[in-house]
Chains A and B, each alone.
Chain A
Amino acid sequence: AQSVTQLGSHVSVSEGALVLLRCNYSSSVPPYLFWYVQYPNQGLQLLLKYTSAATLVKGINGFEAEFKKSETSFHLTKPSAHMSDAAEYFCAVNPSSASKIIFGSGTRLSIRP
């Protein structure tokens, strides 16, 4: 069965520091992988999406994620955190067009001034 695990329900970094949010997945076939962001009192919006075209995927707001098949990981990074990055981040996996997308439990990112 497919699943996705986000390590750390809460991550806190200083403004200007590196952001690293971890996501590991299990899938029997190369999946589609997503990162969504949810700002306070809003719905989710797509940050970036991996579709097997390139292992390093660039998203909005300076975020990027790297697909590592050997590690079954799709970690999200940003070189320099900004206060506006404070939000909840969800990793999601979908192994095939006929399967439902599966969301991780989310990681809340806090930014310290």
Chain B
Amino acid sequence: DVKVTQSSRYLVKRTGEKVFLECVQDMDHENMFWYRQDPGLGLRLIYFSYDVKMKEKGDIPEGYSVSREKKERFSLILESASTNQTSMYLCASSLGNHQETQYFGPGTRLLVL
């Protein structure tokens, strides 16, 4: 069974803290994605990676960075958390190209105080 796991379901951080969100997939997928989900805005792509050590900016990369050192793991980093980064963060993975089905993790709800 396909599985994408995220390190935390809920996280509370303070403004200015460095935050790491981890995502692991066990399907040997090439592509991995980080989205943020906000009410009325749907899913917005932050970054994606199509191979180990490769990354590309999505639609809203400002304030975020990513790391993909191993194929199964894709990390999202908030270098200095701000209150406007309070959101639900969803990780996904897929085979090959962008028209393949994406498989999502359960999400991490981040609150920045």
Interface residues of A (CB under 8 A from B): 9, 32, 34, 36, 41-46, 49, 51, 90, 94, 96-101, 103-106
Contact = CB atoms under 8 A, between A and B. Distances in A.
Given A43-B92, A99-B98, A100-B98, 11 more contacts: A32-B99, A34-B101, A43-B104, A43-B105, A43-B107, A44-B90, A90-B43, A94-B98, A101-B98, A103-B42, A105-B41
Q: DSSP class of A's interface residues: helix, strand, loop or mixed?
A: loop
10 closest A-B pairs by beta carbon, nearest first, are A43-B104, A97-B97, A105-B42, A103-B43, A44-B104, A32-B99, A103-B42, A43-B106, A46-B101, A97-B99
22 contacts: A32-B99, A36-B104, A41-B106, A42-B106, A43-B106, A44-B92, A44-B104, A45-B103, A45-B104, A94-B99, A96-B99, A97-B97, A97-B98, A100-B48, A100-B58, A100-B98, A101-B98, A101-B102, A103-B35, A105-B40, A105-B41, A105-B42
